[in-house]
Amino acid sequence: MNKKIYLSLATMGGNELKYIHEAFDSNWVAPLGPNVDAFEEDLEKFLNEEKCVAALSSGTAAIHLALIQLGVNIGDEVICQSLTFSATVNPVKYLGAMPVLIDSEPYTWNMDPLLLEEAIKDRIDKTGKKPKAIIPVHLYGMPAQMDKILSIAKEYEIPVLEDAAEALGSEFNKIKCGNFGSFACLSFNGNKIITTSGGGALVCNDKEAKKKTIFFATQARENARHYQHETVGYNYRLSNICAGIGRGQMEVLPKFIKRRREIHQYYINKLSKIPGVTFQTEMDERFHSNYWLTVMQIDSNSYDRDKIDRLYSFMDEQNIECRPVWKPMHLQPVFKSCPFYGSNVSEKLFNEGICLPSGSNLTNEELDYIISKIKNFFLE
Ligand SMILES: *Cc1c(COP(=O)(O)O)cnc(C)c1O
Which domains, from first to last, does the chain contain?
16-250 (3.40.640.10), 253-378 (3.90.1150.10)
**27 pLDDT more than 80:** no
- Phi then psi for 287, rounded to 5 degrees? -95, 135
User: Ligand 1 centre and the CA of 72: distance in Å?
Assistant: 20
Q: What is residue 143's predicted lDDT score, i.e. its pLDDT?
A: 98
Eight-class DSSP state of 135? E
Handedness of CA 303, 309, 314, 315 (dihedral sign): positive
Do 357 and 323 contact (CB within 8 A), yes or no? no
- 315-327 tens-digit pLDDT: 999 999 999 999 9
User: Which whole number is the average pLDDT over 191-200?
Assistant: 96
- Tell me if residue 25 falls in helix, strand or coil: helix
The Å distance, Cα 168 to ligand 1 centre, comes to 12
| Atom number, ligand 1, closest to the C-alpha of residue 137 | 13
CB contact at 8 A, 247 and 348: no
Q: Residue 52 contacts by C-beta under 8 Å, 6 or more apart in sequence?
A: 44, 203, 204, 205, 206, 207, 209, 210
214 — pLDDT class (breaks 50, 70, 90) = very high
Backbone angles phi, psi at 208, to 5 degrees: -60, -45
| Range with top average pLDDT, 12-26, 205-219, 222-236 | 205-219
Please state, in angstroms and rounded to a whole number, the distance separating the CA atoms of residues 341 and 208. 35
Could you tell me the distance, in angstroms and rounded to a whole number, from the CA of residue 88 to the centre of ligand 1? 7
8 Å CB contact between 358 and 8: yes
Q: Does the structure show a pLDDT above 90 at 346?
A: yes
Question: What band does 224 get if pLDDT is binned at 50, 70 and 90?
Answer: confident
Cα(139)–Cα(284) distance, integer angstroms: 16
Residues with CB under 6 A from ligand 1: 58-60, 84-85, 87-88, 137, 163, 165-166, 187, 189, 200
What is the model's pLDDT at position 31?
Answer: 60
Residue 55 has pLDDT above 60, yes or no: yes
Q: What are phi and psi of 31, to 5 degrees?
A: -60, 155
Contact (CB, 8 A) for 80 and 88: yes
Alpha-carbon distance values, 321 to 168, 313, 357 (Å): 23, 10, 7
- Looking at the whole model, is its pTM more than 0.85? yes
Amino acid letter, 199: G
Nearest residue to 201 (alpha-carbon basis) of 75, 51, 16, 313 = 51
Residue minimizing CA distance to atom 13 of ligand 1: 85
Residue (of 292, 331, 298) closest to 315 by Cα position: 298
Q: Provide, rounded to the nearest whole percent, the portion of the chain with pLDDT above 70.
A: 98
pLDDT of residue 330: 98
Buried (b) or exposed (e) across 180-209, using 16+ Cβ within 10 A? bbbbbbbbbbebbbbbbebbbbbbbeeeeb
Q: Check if the beta carbon of residue 108 is closer than 8 Å to that of residue 145.
A: yes
Report percent pLDDT > 90 for the chain: 91
Span 63-92, pLDDT tens digits? 999 999 999 999 999 999 999 999 999 999
pLDDT tens sequence across 119-157:
999 999 999 999 999 999 999 999 999 999 999 999 999
50 Cα: distance to centroid of ligand 1 (angstroms): 24
Cα dihedral sign for 329, 332, 333, 336?
Answer: positive
Residue nearest to atom 4 of ligand 1 (CA): 59
Segment 163-175 shows an average pLDDT of 98
